[in-house]
């Protein structure tokens, strides 16, 4: 087993990895940028090394990160999610330095990294793939011809896309013409590549993804599905496991296909195969994420498997401790991404200083966070500052517990998605467990809540009234 792992990430992701390392008796080295000098992951690791002044580029500095790992006596590197987690060059450099990369092979990362390549590999493996282009689009004319052949609506997508960026729905020629360049520009700015492809737009789909785990001895299992249909701007906000939308038969069929997809690219370590499922239960492969996923805690909650620990064991060459038949799930889990952003203002990020932070607890409540009272959320990074994961034996129990925990949660100083989630958790459609990816757009009424400042005003007014009444 490894002695010391360098965690090439920040925030709640780095803390999550450090926690499993500690339980396994493995030492940890954190890295940080100047902007993160007061970040919690710096305090939680055994040792932390400052990389440099640039808030973002520091976490992408492959050469420096590998050197820090070597100097600090690490034998492995965990990339987490975001940053270098899907960068084949990083995985390669880590390997070249004689360190173990805790993730799949550089080839597997590369095969799945381009969505165009991934689609081709999956078609070759006999996996159903969303109808669309086989190659990168050459120009807007070609895109138009393809869209008319396929029939609108279509999706324009960046081949290198991630985090919901570089995706645009087009309903007619006019929109396609408008969106083509915008999507290209966005893709270039975010991913350094303006390669686009086209997919048929699946109407009112469910985003259903399967967690898979594979070792280097040829064993590969799936750990059931997550329903990530509640999204804003094509990025997940709330995820649930298992999906209420799947029948046991469909679960088994899709799980087997997810395993087949992973095996087709010789995959080892943890990964996620994402599908879209339409209302008639037709399903298609969308993409594979060759890393740990943000929403992995809901899978851990219903299966009892520590996915980070399994990633580490598999990377150390150990065989998976279970076969498919040994795996089962219990109850329901819901994850809420607590983001420092304002749902009422088109989910605009709201970095700033937390004047109060009180996280919930009690039965069935897990919090993966990276903030504390007085902490200033830097503006340079992802707006997610904590994840609240709820377990309940039944769906209604999970929803009721979610509402209880969301009401216990108290964050002041910056606007967050918390009050919006209280609305969602209390809504009828959520309680029924019925949602597709259009949920947020179809429920503008859920944005009708009082932000925390108002709640604070009311509390202050009540206190004044009580004091006056008591003659204080
Ligand atoms: P997941 O796919 O794990 O559910 P997201 O799609 O929200 O999660 O992305 C995971 C994290 O990685 C987020 O912090 C997101 O901002 C970041 N991310 C994802 N893809 C990319 C990418 N291609 N480039 C930069 N950051 C990315
Ligand atoms: P990312 O790499 O950013 O995660 P994905 O390809 O996984 O991008 O798509 C993210 C989300 O965008 C999906 O969960 C879905 O809501 C929407 N989406 C993507 N492709 C399609 C499609 N062909 N039809 C309908 N919705 C889509
Ligand atoms: Mg995706």
* Residue 457 confidence (pLDDT): 55
**65 lies in some domain:** yes
Q: Supply the DSSP symbol for 132.
A: B
Please identify, among 154, 177, 200, the residue that sits at the C-terminal boundary of a domain. Answer: 200
Q: How far is the CA of 157 from the centre of ligand 2 (A)?
A: 8
pLDDT exceeds 80 at position 81: yes
- The helix/strand/coil state of 404 is helix
For residue 451, name the pLDDT band (cuts at 50, 70, 90).
confident
Please identify, among 85, 102, 119, the residue that sits at the C-terminal boundary of a domain. Answer: 102
**236 touches ligand 1 (CB under 6 Å):** yes
Q: Compute the average pLDDT of residues 347-360.
A: 96
211 and 193 housed in the same domain: no
Q: How far is the CA of 162 from the centre of ligand 1 (A)?
A: 5
Domain CATH number, residue 354: 3.30.470.20
**331 touches ligand 1 (CB under 6 Å):** no
Side-chain-side CA neighbours of 186 within 13 Å: the count stands at: 18
Ramachandran class of 369: left when φ > 0, alpha when ψ lies in -120 to 50, beta otherwise: beta
* Residue 32 confidence (pLDDT): 98
Q: How far is the CA of 325 from the centre of ligand 3 (A)?
A: 28
Measured from the Cα of 82, ligand 1's closest atom is: 12
Which residues have a Cβ under 8 Å from the Cβ of 377 and sit 6 or more positions away? 340, 351, 352, 353, 354, 371, 383, 385, 414
Mean pLDDT of the chain: 96
Q: How far is the CA of 355 from the centre of ligand 3 (A)?
A: 34
* Residue 176 confidence (pLDDT): 98
**124 lies in some domain:** no
**295 touches ligand 1 (CB under 6 Å):** yes
Domain extent for 70? 4-102
337 and 417 housed in the same domain: yes
* Residue 141 confidence (pLDDT): 97
192 and 212 housed in the same domain: no
pLDDT exceeds 80 at position 458: no
How far CA 195 is from CA of 181, 188, 189, 198, in Å, comes to 11, 8, 12, 11
* Residue 145 confidence (pLDDT): 97
Alpha-carbon gap, residue 431 to 425, rounded angstroms: 7
**163 touches ligand 1 (CB under 6 Å):** yes
79 and 26 housed in the same domain: yes
Alpha-carbon gap, residue 147 to 170, rounded angstroms: 9
The tens digit of pLDDT for each residue in 86-142 reads 999 999 999 999 999 999 999 999 999 999 999 999 999 999 999 999 999 999 999
**271 touches ligand 1 (CB under 6 Å):** no
Measured from the Cα of 162, ligand 1's closest atom is: 20
221 and 357 housed in the same domain: yes
Domain CATH number, residue 185: 3.30.1490.20
**55 lies in some domain:** yes
Q: Compute the average pLDDT of residues 242-261.
A: 98
359 and 412 housed in the same domain: yes
CA dihedral 338, 435, 327, 216 (to 10 degrees): -70
Of the given ranges (94-103, 257-266, 267-276, 453-462), which has the lowest mean pLDDT? Answer: 453-462
Please identify, among 180, 200, 220, the residue that sits at the C-terminal boundary of a domain. Answer: 200
Mutation probe of ligand 1 site: the residue of 56, 79, 82 with most atoms within 8 A of C-beta: 82
The tens digit of pLDDT for each residue in 54-75 reads 999 999 999 999 999 999 999 9
pLDDT exceeds 60 at position 166: yes
Q: Number of helices (H) and strands (E), helices first, in the chain?
A: 16, 20
**233's tokens:** 């701007």
- Helix crossing, 395-408 with 418-425: angle to 10°? 150
Measured from the Cα of 296, ligand 1's closest atom is: 3
Alpha-carbon gap, residue 28 to 36, rounded angstroms: 17
51 and 136 housed in the same domain: no
pLDDT exceeds 90 at position 21: yes
Q: How far is the CA of 39 from the centre of ligand 3 (A)?
A: 27
Q: How far is the CA of 219 from the centre of ligand 2 (A)?
A: 29
Give the residue whose CA is nearest to atom 27 of ligand 1: 82
217 and 263 housed in the same domain: yes
**235 touches ligand 1 (CB under 6 Å):** yes
**382 touches ligand 1 (CB under 6 Å):** yes
pLDDT exceeds 60 at position 453: no
Number of the ligand closest to the Cα of 150: 2
For residue 472, name the pLDDT band (cuts at 50, 70, 90).
low
* Residue 459 confidence (pLDDT): 62
Which residues have a Cβ under 8 Å from the Cβ of 177 and sit 6 or more positions away? 140, 144
Number of the ligand closest to the Cα of 380: 1
CA dihedral 317, 321, 327, 330 (to 10 degrees): -100
Q: Supply the DSSP symbol for 327.
A: -
Q: Compute the average pLDDT of residues 288-302.
A: 98
Domain CATH number, residue 57: 3.40.50.20
**178 lies in some domain:** yes
291 labelled catalytic: yes
The tens digit of pLDDT for each residue in 385-412 reads 999 999 999 999 999 999 999 999 999 9
Give the residue whose CA is nearest to atom 12 of ligand 2: 234
**179 lies in some domain:** yes
Q: How far is the CA of 162 from the centre of ligand 3 (A)?
A: 6
**464 lies in some domain:** no
135 and 98 housed in the same domain: no
Alpha-carbon gap, residue 442 to 229, rounded angstroms: 13
- If one counts the domains in the chain, the total is 3
Residues flanking ligand 2, CB < 6 Å: 130, 155, 161-164, 167, 199, 201-202, 205, 207, 231, 234, 274, 276, 286-287, 437
Q: Of the residues 291, 337, 366, 415, which is catalytic?
A: 291
303 and 435 housed in the same domain: yes
**448 lies in some domain:** yes
**438 touches ligand 1 (CB under 6 Å):** no
* Residue 456 confidence (pLDDT): 59
**82 touches ligand 1 (CB under 6 Å):** yes
**54 lies in some domain:** yes
148 and 88 housed in the same domain: no
Nearest in space to 225 (alpha carbons), one of 242, 239, 203: 242
Alpha-carbon gap, residue 386 to 370, rounded angstroms: 6
**12 touches ligand 1 (CB under 6 Å):** no
For residue 460, name the pLDDT band (cuts at 50, 70, 90).
low
195 and 210 housed in the same domain: no
On whether the pTM is more than 0.75, the answer is yes
Q: Compute the average pLDDT of residues 423-449.
A: 96
Pairing of strands 332-339, 384-392: antiparallel
């Amino acid at each position: 087993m490894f002695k010391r792992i360098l965690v090439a990430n920040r925030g709640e992701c780095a803390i999550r990895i450090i926690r499993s390392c500690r339980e396994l008796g493995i030492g940890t080295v954190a890295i940080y940028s100047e902007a993160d000098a007061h970040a919690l992951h710096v305090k939680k690791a055994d040792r932390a090394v400052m990389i440099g002044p640039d808030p973002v580029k520091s976490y992408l500095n492959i050469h420096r990160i590998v050197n820090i790992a070597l100097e600090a006596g690490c034998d492995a590197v965990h990339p987490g999610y975001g940053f270098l987690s899907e960068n084949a060059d990083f995985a390669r450099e880590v390997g070249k330095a004689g360190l173990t990369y805790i993730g799949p092979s550089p080839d597997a990362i590369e095969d799945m990294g381009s969505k165009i390549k991934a689609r081709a590999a999956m078609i070759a493996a006999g996996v159903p793939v969303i109808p669309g282009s086989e190659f990168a689009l050459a120009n807007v004319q070609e895109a138009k011809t393809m869209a008319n052949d396929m029939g609108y609506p279509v999706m324009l997508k960046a081949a290198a896309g991630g985090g919901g960026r570089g995706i645009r729905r087009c309903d007619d020629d006019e929109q396609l013409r408008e969106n083509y360049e915008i999507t290209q520009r966005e893709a270039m700015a975010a991913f350094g590549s303006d390669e686009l492809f086209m997919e048929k737009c699946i109407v009112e789909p469910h985003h259903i993804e399967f967690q898979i785990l594979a070792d280097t001895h040829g064993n590969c299992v799936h750990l059931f599905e997550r329903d990530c249909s509640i999204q804003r701007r094509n990025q997940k906000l709330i995820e649930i496991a298992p999906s209420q939308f799947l029948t046991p038969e469909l679960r088994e069929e899709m799980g087997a296909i997810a395993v087949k997809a992973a095996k087709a690219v010789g995959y080892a370590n943890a990964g996620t195969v994402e599908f879209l499922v339409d209302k008639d239960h037709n399903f298609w492969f969308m993409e594979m994420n060759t890393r740990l996923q943000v929403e992995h805690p809901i899978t851990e909650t219903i299966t009892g498997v520590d996915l980070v620990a399994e990633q580490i064991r598999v990377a150390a060459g150990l065989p998976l401790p279970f076969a498919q038949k040994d795996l089962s799930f219990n109850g329901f889990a819901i994850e809420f991404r607590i983001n420092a952003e304002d749902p009422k203002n088109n989910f605009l990020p709201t970095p700033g200083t937390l004047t109060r932070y009180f996280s919930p607890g009690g039965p069935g409540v897990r919090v993966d966070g990276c903030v504390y009272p007085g902490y200033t959320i830097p503006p340079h990074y992802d707006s997610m500052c904590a994840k609240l994961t709820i377990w309940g034996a039944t769906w209604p129990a999970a929803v009721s517990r979610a509402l209880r925990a969301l009401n216990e949660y108290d964050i002041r100083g910056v606007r967050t998605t918390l009050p919006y989630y209280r609305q969602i958790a209390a809504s009828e459609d959520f309680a029924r467990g019925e949602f597709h990816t259009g949920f947020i757009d179809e429920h503008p009424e859920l944005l009708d809540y009082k932000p925390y400042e108002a709640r604070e005003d009311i509390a202050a007014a009540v206190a004044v009234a009580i004091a006056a009444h008591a003659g204080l």
